[in-house]
Amino acid sequence: MWSLLSIALRNVLRNRRRTMITLAALLLGVGVMVGIRGVLNGLQRALVQTAVSGQTGAIQVHHAGYLKNVIASPLTLDMPADEDFLNKIRKVPHVTAVAPRILFAGMINVGDQTLFAAMQAIDPKREFDAVPLRKMTVSDGGRFTSGKIADAVLLTAELEKGLRGTPGQAQLPAAVLGPDKDGALSGENITIAGQLKLNLPGEKKLAVVPLALAQRLLKMEGRATELVIAVDNIDHIPEVAASLRRVLGSDYEVHTWDQVASFVKQAMERQNLILSLVATVFMILMLLGVANTVLMSVLERTREIGTMMAVGVRRGKILALFLIEAATIGLLGGVAGGLAGLGVVTWLEQRGIEVTMPGSAVPFIIRPYTTLTYLAFVVSLAAGGSLLFAVYPSWRASRMRPVQALAGG
């Protein structure tokens, strides 16, 4: 068996040019796989962070049935937002912050222009503890975020343009109108305090108002429709969600960020699918290269195969010989490609890639990264795949008739 291995390894070095070409193909294929996976890792980490720390929080709590009925009755399924209730949540291990919100459909009026808007009432003192990155989406000179101006409102560019043509002069007097649970419409005077950028695709006509103002307007003192919860580490999300379900009971529903922002999860799954398809195509192409190399080698060495058979080598050993050769090439190419990919990904990680998602105005920096697990996976894929694709030519070699092989085919 040792002599077989030694013969196989020497044969890999025998036709250097062909081995190099095959290795180069494997290197490219594996390198591209590691590179794309690395960039996707960075992108997805940024996406998750944007969602979790910029909008959804790690976990959200609603009244039971809220998410299913949110379109029809956004306010009837409300919940307490008093300190006692919030403290119950804060006591759950790994929870770092809780912020109440009220989401409702309302109207904004400026001068003689009135527009429907998706309204989000947040508590400026708590919101940015729960979703710290969200502060970066606000440009208001601190008027809203400080919480000092009680009637400040933030509008998206889309909404502001609709209301007064060109955005610009801040602190314009305006009014917000909204129907309460019973449908009674009431209004409050507000001041446009600044602009809100969107960091994820979604509703474009969005207005953010202070929670206290909304509670007054909607006659919901001490209540909220949504609690946004931050945890110390993303890995603790499932554990915290389970604890919350236990603590809060069946009157409330607990969702993790990926259930709320399912489009982020779906986008990631789509990206992963595309990567798998691209990687599969790449992999098959380069493995066909390996198969071709083995086949050429088999055809070239027909007489040698015949000689081996003549002196008593069994079919299984002939098969093994060519399989070992292919697996060796696959392993070498895989390791080379893995290292090359790792190099590129590490370089990109240090450099960073700035991107702006479609539907979002906030650019973020992708820092690609890869994992040892993935590297091990692609290397075994290259080696295992090479082995698999070499089965047919190697089998052909092992099935040759000795006489015919000795005659050169």
Partner 1 sequence: MSLVEIKGVTKTYQLGKTEVSALRGVDLTLERGEFTVVMGPSGSGKTTLLNIIGCLDNATSGSYKLDGEEVGTRDFNDLAEIRNRKIGFIFQSFNLIPVLNVIENIEFPCLIRGENKKELRERVQQVARDVGLDPFLKHKPDELSGGQRQRVAIARALVTQPQLVLADEPTANLDSVTSDQIIDLMLHLNREKGVTFLFSTHDPRVMQHARRVVRIQDGVMVDGSGSAQVEVDRLNAAQHG
Residues binding partner 1 (CB under 8 A): 3, 7, 10-11, 14, 303-304, 306-315, 317, 401-403, 406
Minimum separation from the CB atom of position 404 to partner 1 (A):
9
CB of 22 or CB of 56, closer to partner 1: 22
As a three-state string, the secondary structure of the chain is: CHHHHHHHHHHHHHCHHHHHHHHHHHHHHHHHHHHHHHHHHHHHHHHHHHHHHHHHCCEEEEECCHHHHCCCCCCCCCEECCHHHHHHHHCCCCEEEEEEEEEEEEEEEECCEEEEEEEEEECHHHHHHHCHHHHHHEECCCCCCCCCCCCEEEEEHHHHHHHHCCCCCCCCEEEEEEECCCCCEEEEEEEEEEEECCCCCCCCCEEEEEHHHHHHHCCCCCEECEEEEEECCHHHHHHHHHHHHHHHHHHEEEEEHHHHCHHHHHHHHHHHHHHHHHHHHHHHHHHHHHHHHHHHHHHHCHHHHHHHHHCCCCHHHHHHHHHHHHHHHHHHHHHHHHHHHHHHHHHHHHHCEEECCCCCCCCEEECCCCCHHHHHHHHHHHHHHHHHHCHHHHHHHHCCCHHHHHCCC
Residue 310 beta carbon to partner 1: minimum distance, rounded to whole angstroms: 5
Rank residues 91 and 315 by Cβ distance to partner 1 and give the closer one: 315
Minimum distance from residue 305 beta carbon to partner 1 (Å): 10
Which of 216/317 has CB closer to partner 1?
A: 317
Minimum CB–partner distance for residue 311 and partner 1 (Å): 4
Cβ nearer to partner 1, comparing 287 with 298: 298
Cβ closest to partner 1, residue 91 vs residue 314: 314
CB of 296 to partner 1, least distance (A): 16
Could you tell me the smallest distance in angstroms from the CB atom of residue 3 to partner 1?
A: 5
Nearer to partner 1 by C-beta: 22 or 44?
A: 22
Smaller CB distance to partner 1: residue 376 or 403?
Answer: 403
Strands 152-156 and 185-196, by their bridges, are: parallel
CB of 256 to partner 1, least distance (A): 59
Minimum distance between the CB of residue 365 and partner 1, rounded to whole angstroms?
Answer: 52
Which residue, 139 or 307, has its beta carbon nearer to partner 1? 307
171 φ, ψ to 5°? 50, 40
